[in-house]
């Protein structure tokens, strides 16, 4: 809910940063397709531990990852820590669902925000513990031990 | 509680496939997404890092994200998804067309609530002037070529991908270290 409200506010206000401006920002590394399309539920259900395995799958499949900032703004990550492999790169997979602080440059283009991350300043680990609310999303993320 | 409501929310979503400004002539297949719009348009396939940030030294190199610079209005759309069922992006399918003028057909996502605009699911691609469409479903074939041993296993690619398996082995399905059995029990 917190993210949803913040996102709604940000949509109205929008970021005021200039293209290529240096930025240090904290947020969660998310799977942007599930977040934007709603294909698996609302925004709070497709983040955090509930969506961790799916986020890895999508990142491995080359779906763009994003940084969901603390104010609810989504930044599409085009490069991460010196790697331009934003379609299936190792760094994106390893940071899926992690809460990270990054430094880099921000851009805005036709309604979307983009981030070129120079450095991961700090990896806070996974802090969005929401599987107790949502289970796993999608429900088959964990294989059924009964087959 | 929420895990039971999510499927209901998805099913109860507003009627999908609202018409948008580029819907005329589209033959895109609906995915029943709440805010999808069929969208068929001409565009140039561009390297996103080059187009957005001016980093063009490795333009169109494998692994970089690709975008669609729309011919009609110069708007940059971001194809987050290809035409395959789940978990696969569009860069592999767009790569053969990088730098070329193409026509695409698919679904545009416009959802102010989550900040989605000009987000695209590409279903079909063809170079401008070509007769035949190419279906954007090449990701799993490319994956199988890169990971032949994993592809030889039974089951979906995402159950066998060695990168995925290594991360789940290290951190569990929830990412916080639980074993498979623990994660299964606490999410039931």
Mean pLDDT for A118-139 is 97
- Tens digits of residue pLDDT in A46-92: 999 999 999 999 999 999 999 999 999 999 999 999 999 999 999 99
- pLDDT at A14 > cutoff 60: no
For residues A54 and A47, give the distance between their C-alpha atoms in angstroms, rounded to a whole number: 9
Which residues, listed in sequence order, are joined to residue A67 by a DSSP beta bridge? Answer: A29, A75
pLDDT of res. B16: 53
B49, A78 contact by CB (below 8 A): yes
Q: Do B176 and A37 touch (CB under 8 A)?
A: no
Note whether A121 contacts B: Cβ–Cβ < 8 A.
Answer: no
B88, A61 contact by CB (below 8 A): yes
Apex A43 CA angle, B105 and B67, nearest 5: 30
Out of B3, B116, B118, the one facing A134 most closely (by C-beta) is B3
Mean pLDDT for B171-179 is 95
Q: Do A60 and B164 touch (CB under 8 A)?
A: yes
Chain B environment of A7 (Cβ under 8 Å):
113-115
Q: What are the backbone dihedrals phi and psi of residue B8, each rounded to the nearest 5 degrees, phi first?
A: -70, -40
pLDDT of res. B18: 81
A77, A66 contact by CB (below 8 A): yes
Q: What are the backbone dihedrals phi and psi of residue B166, each rounded to the nearest 5 degrees, phi first?
A: -65, -40
Note whether B12 contacts A: Cβ–Cβ < 8 A.
Answer: no
3-state secondary structure of A94: helix
H helix runs in chain A, sequence order: 2-13, 32-37, 52-60, 90-94, 131-134
For residues A5 and B184, give the distance between their C-alpha atoms in angstroms, rounded to a whole number: 31
Q: What percent of chain A has pLDDT over 70?
A: 88
- Tens digits of residue pLDDT in B80-102: 999 998 899 999 999 999 999 99
pTM for this prediction:
0.90
The contacts of residue B23 (CB under 8 Å, 6+ apart) are B37, B38, B39, B40
């Amino acid at each position: 809910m917190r993210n949803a409200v913040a996102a709604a506010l940000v949509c109205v206000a929008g970021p005021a940063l200039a293209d290529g401006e240096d930025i240090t920002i904290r947020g969660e590394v998310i799977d942007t397709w599930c977040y934007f399309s709603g294909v698996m539920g609302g925004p709070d259900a497709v983040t955090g531990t509930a969506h961790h395995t799916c986020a890895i799958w999508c990142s491995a499949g080359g779906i763009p990852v994003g940084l969901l900032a603390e104010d609810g703004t989504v930044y599409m990550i085009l490069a991460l820590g010196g790697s331009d492999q934003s379609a299936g790169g190792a760094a994106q997979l390893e940071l899926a669902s992690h809460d990270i602080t990054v430094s880099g440059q921000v851009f805005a283009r036709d309604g979307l925000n983009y981030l070129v991350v120079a450095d991961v300043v700090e990896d806070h680990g996974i802090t969005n513990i929401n599987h107790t609310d949502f289970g796993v999303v999608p429900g088959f993320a964990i294989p059924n031990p009964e087959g | 509680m929420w895990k039971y409501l999510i499927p209901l929310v998805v099913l109860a979503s507003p009627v999908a496939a609202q018409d948008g400004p580029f819907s005329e002539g589209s033959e895109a297949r609906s995915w029943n997404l709440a805010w999808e719009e069929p969208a068929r348009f001409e565009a140039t396939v561009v390297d996103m890092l080059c187009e957005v940030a001016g980093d063009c030294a490795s333009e169109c190199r494998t692994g970089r994200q690709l975008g669609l610079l729309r011919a009609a209005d110069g708007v940059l759309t971001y194809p987050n998804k290809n035409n395959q069922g789940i978990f696969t992006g569009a860069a592999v399918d767009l790569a053969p067309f990088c730098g070329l003028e193409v026509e695409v057909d698919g679904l545009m996502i416009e959802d102010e609530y989550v900040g989605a605009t000009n987000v695209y699911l590409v279903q079909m691609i063809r170079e401008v002037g070509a007769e035949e469409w190419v279906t954007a479903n090449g990701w799993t074939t490319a994956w199988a070529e890169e990971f032949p041993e994993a592809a030889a296993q039974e089951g979906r690619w995402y159950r066998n991908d060695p990168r995925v398996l290594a991360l789940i082995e290290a951190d569990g399905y929830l990412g916080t270290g639980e074993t498979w059995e623990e994660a299964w029990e606490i999410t039931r």
